[in-house]
Amino acid sequence: MASINLIEAFQDFKDAENIDRPTLMKVVEDVFKTLLRKKYSSDENFDVIVNAEKGDLEIIRRRMIVEDGEVMDPLAEIAYSEAVKIEPDFEVGEELYQEVDILDFGRRAILAAKQTLASRIGDLKKNVLVKKYSDRIGDIINAEVYQVWKKEVLLLDEEGNELILPKSEQIPQDYFKKGENVRAVVGRVDMKNNSPVIILSRTSPDFLSKLLEIEVPEIFDGLITIRKIVREPGERAKVAVESFDDRIDPVGACVGMKGSRIHGIVRELKNENIDVINWTTNIQLLIQRSLTPSKISYMELDNETKHASVYLKADQVSLAIGRRGVNIKLACELTGYDIDVFRETEDGEEEFDIDLDEFTDEIEPWIIEELKRVGCDTARSILNLSADELERRTDLEKETILDLRKILQDEFDRE
């Protein structure tokens, strides 16, 4: 049969390793049976034989040989006089198998068939890709950086599939170079312009969960379970773990001897601080553990409103709140309780305090950052210092400090 130059289309056919062969064969058969129906009005007496490995195909036409003048259906029957021209040994009643020269369909029809075939195989590849990564959502993968853009990074997996790591899913300290290998979890599979887009994430709690599963055999074996993970990517993470075996200390197992297991994860997460705590159904104890590294004096709980008032010594307040309020924010997320911090004075009376981030609508963010830089994370920590002391320790002007103190004092007066 004359070549119809289908090699390129069949190359896609051969490369589509993840697509099962029967499905591919059916696609090719459908494409060419459509051609047959257009030319002969029917495909009933034609067999399409595909050889995917060689990149070619055959179309065989089947007709019954009948006496001259008795041809009722030209598609299914052929006159004896015509049959013997093809092969002199034919007899009436035999079935004639004849190869169809595909060039008879015409150049335009062949080109359309090639385009349709390539399109159908492309659709199959997309479907396979969507299924593959939809089944792997939450799993960790290795991929190679192919292109770095301002808002996202393009990576390639081991099969050459394109994966996207958006800026919003990157740890703030992440820096990528072309050719390096990156670990991330499969976040989701989106469809854009009818094409699948695989979104990866390094900020998802699932990423930390999978890293722990890799480093801690007890988690992989199911002896320790991760009850909850909360993260501020690149800053801090809190992991609540529980052991199903009383002989195993879940925190010790996760951290490892001298931190051997957790250090690798910390490096992967760009020095993100990871607090591993024992999970408990005792909410008071859970709140206490979640505010680590601070030490709580005592607390008051309102389980109906899910609110906790926590009292600490003066030197523990900043530890409980953490830099930029990250520690207390994560503790709230981990426990599901709104936590307010109060400073405990020497005479036993409690002082109400307010995190500086609560004043972002009245105080400019750069001023808040400047105050935090010198260790003033709360309103009362500022009011406890004189205006002259604040002027000396910060780069703020006296007038700005006086306005700031007035805003903070007014808030306490309202309280």
Interval 246-283: pLDDT, tens: 889 999 999 988 888 999 999 999 999 999 999 999 99
**How many other C-beta atoms can be found within 10 angstroms of the C-beta atom of residue 106?**
12
Instruction: State the DSSP code for 91.
Output: -
pLDDT at 12: 54
Flag whether pLDDT at 382 surpasses 70: yes
Q: Which of 293, 285, 346, 281 is nearest to 317 (CA)?
A: 293
Amino acid making up residue 254 = C
Kindly provide the b/e burial profile for residues 130-151, where b requires at least 16 CB atoms within 10 angstroms of the residue's own CB.
bebbeeeeeebbebbbeeeeee
* Per-residue exposure over 4-30, b if at least 16 CB sit within 10 Å of its own CB, e if not: bebeebbebbeebeebeeeebbebbbe
Residue 3 has pLDDT above 50, yes or no: no
Q: Which of 21-35, 179-193, 343-357 has the lowest mean pLDDT?
A: 343-357
The contacts of residue 345 (CB under 8 Å, 6+ apart) are 314, 351
- State residue 56's pLDDT score: 64
Q: Kindly report the average pLDDT of the chain as a whole number.
A: 83
Helix locations, 158-279, DSSP H: 205-215, 217-220, 250-255, 260-268
Label residue 21 by pLDDT band (50, 70, 90).
low
Q: Alpha carbon 259 to chain centroid distance?
A: 28
Cβ contact 266:276 at 8 Å = no
pLDDT at position 4 is 46
User: What pLDDT does residue 2 have?
Assistant: 38
The larger pLDDT score, comparing residue 147 to residue 61, is at 147
Q: How far apart are CA 55 and CA 14, in angstroms?
A: 8
pLDDT tier for residue 71 given thresholds of 50, 70 and 90: confident
Peptide bond into 293 cis (omega under 30): yes
Which parts of 197-336 fold into alpha helices (H)? 205-215, 217-220, 250-255, 260-268, 283-290, 314-321, 326-335
How confident is residue 170, by pLDDT bands cut at 50, 70 and 90? very high
Per domain, the residue ranges of the chain are 7-132, 136-203
Return the sign of the alpha-carbon dihedral for residues 62, 67, 72, 74.
positive
| 193 has pLDDT over 90 | no
pTM of the model: 0.65
Q: Please give the residue that has the higher pLDDT: either 372 or 21.
A: 372
Report domain 7-132's class.
alpha beta
- % of residues, the chain, pLDDT over 70: 90
CATH class of residue range 136-203: mainly beta
Query: In angstroms, rounded to a whole number, what is the distance separating the alpha carbons of residues 352 and 341?
Result: 7
The pLDDT tens digits for 136-159 are: 999 999 999 999 999 999 999 988
Given pLDDT bands bounded at 50, 70 and 90, which one contains residue 1? very low
Residue count of the chain, please give it: 415
| Coil, helix or strand at residue 158 | coil
